[in-house]
Amino acid sequence: MEVANEVMPTSQGRIEEMMQPGPEGPIYMVNLLKFKDTAEYEDGRQTDLTGYEAYQIYGQGVSELLATFGGELTFAADVTFLALGQVEELWDEVAIARYPNRGAILAMSSSDEWRELAVHRTAGLAGQLNIETVAH
């Protein structure tokens, strides 16, 4: 199994899949997050923030924004140990957000409020995996 962290979708096919309605009922987006050592803002601004600190600015804002789109942050924790399996490098944090449906994610990530916050996300993230899940 090959794993590739990304900050934004790089495949047109993946973007098209995300535009589909998806499963009915709530979805839980599992986020495996890898942070840059030092935040790097695309607009070139100077900062002393770590990637983690920049991402936390994004995370705090998004946890409030989620409610506007019917969602909520349900879990966030630091990754401390890999008990089973093998990867070259561990992710730094796991976060799980609940959304009423896939459309709510698209609506949120298309909003002006999200775009304003996303500069901190991009500055802080080295990459991530987003895994859509549904409860049984």
Q: What is the CA 97 to chain-centroid distance, rounded?
A: 9
Q: Name the residue type at position 38.
A: T
Please give the share of the chain, as a percent, with pLDDT higher than 90. 77
Q: Is residue 98 part of a domain?
A: yes
Residue 28: is its pLDDT beyond 90?
yes
Domain around 82: 25-133
Query: What DSSP string runs through 79-102?
Result: -----SS--SS--SEEEEEEESSH
Residue 19 counted as domain residue:
no
Amino acid at 92: D
Category of 85 on φ-ψ map: left (φ > 0), alpha (ψ -120 to 50) or beta: left
- CATH code, domain carrying 59: 3.30.70.100
**Residue 84: pLDDT band by 50, 70, 90 thresholds?**
very high
Number of domains, the chain? 1
